[in-house]
Amino acid sequence: MSSAPQLLLLTREEAAREIAKLSDEIRAHDKRYYQQDAPSISDADYDTLRQRLEALEKQFPELITPESPTQKVGAAPAEGFGKVRHSKPMLSLDNAFTEEDVGDFIIRAQRFLELESAADIVLVAEPKIDGLSFSVKYENGELVLGVTRGDGEIGENITANLRTVLPKHLIGKHPKIAELRGEVYMKHDDFTALNATRLESEKFANPRNAAAGSLRQLDPEVTRSRKLSYFIYGWAQISDDVDIGNSHYEAMNLFKIWGLEVSTKGVVIPTLKGGLADILNAYDYVQEHRSSLPFDIDGMVYKVDRLDYQERLGFKARSPRWAIAHKFPAEQAVTKIEAIEIQVGRTGTLTPVARLTPITVGGVVVSNATLHNEDEIHRKGVRVGDMVTIQRAGDVIPQVVGVREDMARGGEDYVFPTTCPACGAHAVREEGEVARRCTGGLTCPAQAVERLKHFVSRDAMDIDGLGAKQVEAFYNEGMIANPADIFTLEARDAEGLSRLKNREGWGEKSASNLFAAIEKAKTVTLARFIFALGIRHVGEETAKLLARNFISFTAWREAMMSDSAREQLLAIDGIGETVAETLIQFFIEPHNAQLLEKLSAILSITDYVPPARLDSAVAGKTVVFTGTLEKIGRKEAKSQAEALGAKVASSVSKKTDYVVAGADAGSKLKDATALGVAVLSEDEWLSMIGKNNG
- Residue with Cβ nearer ligand IVH (329 or 381): 329
Interface with ligand IVH (CB under 6 A), residue from 128, 321, 326, 355: 128
Show contacts with ligand IVH in window 87-106 (CB under 6 A).
91-93
- Among candidate residues 588, 580, 672, 661, the one with its CA nearest the CA of residue 625: 661
- Residue with Cβ nearer ligand IVH (92 or 525): 92
Binding string, residues 557-586; x marks residues near ligand IVH by CB under 6 A? ------------------------------
246, 190 Cβ separation under 8 angstroms: no
DSSP 553-572: HHHHHHHHHSTTHHHHHHTB
Interface with ligand IVH (CB under 6 A), residue from 141, 146, 234, 421: 234
Provide the minimum distance between the beta carbon of 93 and ligand IVH in the complex, in angstroms, as a whole number.
4
Q: Would you count residue 323 as binding ligand IVH (CB under 6 A)?
A: yes
Provide the minimum distance between the beta carbon of 266 and ligand IVH in the complex, in angstroms, as a whole number.
8
- Residue with Cβ nearer ligand IVH (135 or 640): 135
Measured between alpha carbons, how far is 159 from 145 in angstroms, rounded to an integer? 5
What is the three-class DSSP state of 551? coil
Contact segment (CB under 6 A) with ligand IVH among 17-25, 126-134, 487-495, 638-646 equals 126-134
Provide the minimum distance between the beta carbon of 636 and ligand IVH in the complex, in angstroms, as a whole number.
19
Q: Would you count residue 662 as binding ligand IVH (CB under 6 A)?
A: no
Show contacts with ligand IVH in window 258-287 (CB under 6 A).
263
- Catalytic residue among 31, 128, 265, 668, which? 128
Provide the minimum distance between the beta carbon of 542 and ligand IVH in the complex, in angstroms, as a whole number.
21
Provide the minimum distance between the beta carbon of 32 and ligand IVH in the complex, in angstroms, as a whole number.
24
**Other Cβ atoms closer than 10 A to 509:** 11
Contact segment (CB under 6 A) with ligand IVH among 109-117, 317-325, 567-575, 644-652 equals 317-325
Measured between alpha carbons, how far is 439 from 102 in angstroms, rounded to an integer? 39
The yes-or-no answer on residue 327 being catalytic is: no
Measured between alpha carbons, how far is 495 from 590 in angstroms, rounded to an integer? 30
Q: Which helix (H) or strand (E) holds 467?
A: none
- Residue with Cβ nearer ligand IVH (298 or 573): 298
What is the three-class DSSP state of 660? strand
- Among candidate residues 639, 673, 642, the one with its CA nearest the CA of residue 656: 673
265, 95 Cβ separation under 8 angstroms: no
For residue 501, what is the DSSP state? G
**Other Cβ atoms closer than 10 A to 6:** 7
Per residue, the 3-state secondary structure of 71-92, as one string, reads HECCCCCCCCCCEEECCCCCCC
Measured between alpha carbons, how far is 553 from 525 in angstroms, rounded to an integer? 9
- Residue with Cβ nearer ligand IVH (93 or 393): 93
604, 524 Cβ separation under 8 angstroms: yes
Q: Which helix (H) or strand (E) holds 113?
A: helix 99-113
Q: Would you count residue 146 as binding ligand IVH (CB under 6 A)?
A: no
Contact segment (CB under 6 A) with ligand IVH among 59-67, 318-326, 481-489, 547-555 equals 318-326
Show contacts with ligand IVH in window 290-309 (CB under 6 A).
301
Provide the minimum distance between the beta carbon of 57 and ligand IVH in the complex, in angstroms, as a whole number.
41
- For residue 338, the Cα-to-chain-centroid distance in whole angstroms is 30
Report the interface residues with ligand IVH, using CB under 6 A.
Answer: 91-93, 126, 128-129, 133, 183, 233-234, 263, 301, 320, 323, 325
Catalytic amino acids?
128
